Every structure is written in structure tokens, then in C-alpha cells.
Amino acid sequence: MLFDALGAFEDMPHWEEAADSLFNAGLTINPSALHGGMVGLLAAGFSPRTEQHFSSTVAALEKALAVELTGELVEFISRLSLATLSAIEDADYTFQPMLPPDDDALEERLLSISEWSTGFLSGFTQGITIREAAGEPVAGLTAEALRDIAAIAQVDTEESDSETAERQLDDIIEYLRFAAINTVMEAQSLQETDLEDHQS
């Protein structure tokens, strides 16, 4: 299994490393959009734990973000997806949305928050469509999180630098952290239950 081969706790790549990987692959998308799309797929029940599941995740991510993922970038995405799932499942809640460093301009960080949120919604929608689960009811907590993330995607990226703006940004990041953890854990739990039902 891919998950076993790479280890359960891959180190989470930094935003700059993701930017370099995307640039080297000739892609101009924001790294935050890539990460958000991946988390959205996890929240829709996708899993990178085996080669087969990871291939499906990459294919869905390509559709969600309208990009082609090949070569070394796929290896990077494998590492990123496993690290992300490990962080989400970590009892210490270590998961963080992939965003630029804190010393980057506030405008850049707000833009990336918007990109992450948009990516999440695209990934989730694509994942639900591929799994043909569009007709299934979305759990209450997940539905609420989707509405809030859609609102965050519209955040004003021209906010002036101030302590208040920084605090608001911190609050948004914290909300996204726990929204992602809750929706992904709920989806992964449902997938495991479905698998057990099929095997029994």
C-alpha cells in the first residue's frame, strides 16, 4: 500500500515548496487552491491510502482544478495528500490550510485564503459528482461548513494591513482548520462504515 510505503506521518510541505513544484510543472495555479481542492476531495470521501485510490484522487483533482498533473508533481501531490490526511487525523489537530508565510503581505494571504476555499468547494463538488453521490443528503455539519467556506471564498482581498485584519485572518484560518478536520473525518468515517457493510 502506498500509505504504508510512504509512512503515516509525512512532513507537510510548505507553501513555497508547492509553488516551486507547480512552477516547475508549468502551472500557474495558487498552491492554496491545489491544497484546498485536495482537502475538498477528502471531504467528499476520497482517500490517497492506496495506489488505486490515489490515482482516482489525482484524476479528480485534475478535473476540479482544470489542470494536468504529471511527472514529479504527482509525486509531490502524493506526499502532500498523505501529510494532509495524517495531520487531519492527528489527535493534536495539527492540520493547517496551506497558505503563504505569515510575513507575506496581508493581501497575498487573503487571496490565498480565497483560493483555498474556492479549491475546497471545487474539489468537494467534483468528488461528490464522481462518486455519484450528488443525490445523497449532505450531513448537517458539512452543509453548514460548505456555506461558510463559500462565504470565505468571497473575502475582501484588499483589506488594509492592521491588527484587526490580522486577527480576523487568524479567526478565518482557525475556522477553516476545524471545518476541514470535521468534514474530512466525517467523510472518512462514512467510507469505512460503507466498506465494512460491503464486507459483512
- Provide the pLDDT for residue 196: 47
Higher model confidence: residue 97 or residue 199? 97
- Provide the pLDDT for residue 33: 97
Percent of the chain clearing pLDDT 90 (strictly above): 58
- Provide the pLDDT for residue 91: 85
DSSP letters of the chain? -HHHHH-TTPPPPPHHHHHHHHHHTT--S-HHHHHHHHHHHHHTT---SSHHHHHHHHHHHHHHHT----THHHHHHHHHHHHHHHHHH-TT---------TTS-HHHHHHHHHHHHHHHHHHHHHHHHHTT-TTSPPPHHHHHHHHHHHHHTT--TTPPP-HHHHHHHHHHHHHHHHHHHHHHHHHHHHHHHHHHHHH-
- Provide the pLDDT for residue 197: 43
Domains of the chain: 2-199 (1.20.120.740)
For residue range 159-182, list pLDDT tens digits in order.
Answer: 777 888 888 999 999 999 999 999
| Residues 177-193, mean pLDDT to the nearest whole number | 84
Share the mean pLDDT of the chain: 86
pLDDT band at 199; cut points 50, 70, 90: very low
For residue range 117-175, list pLDDT tens digits in order.
Answer: 999 999 999 999 987 765 666 767 788 999 999 999 998 877 777 888 888 999 999 99
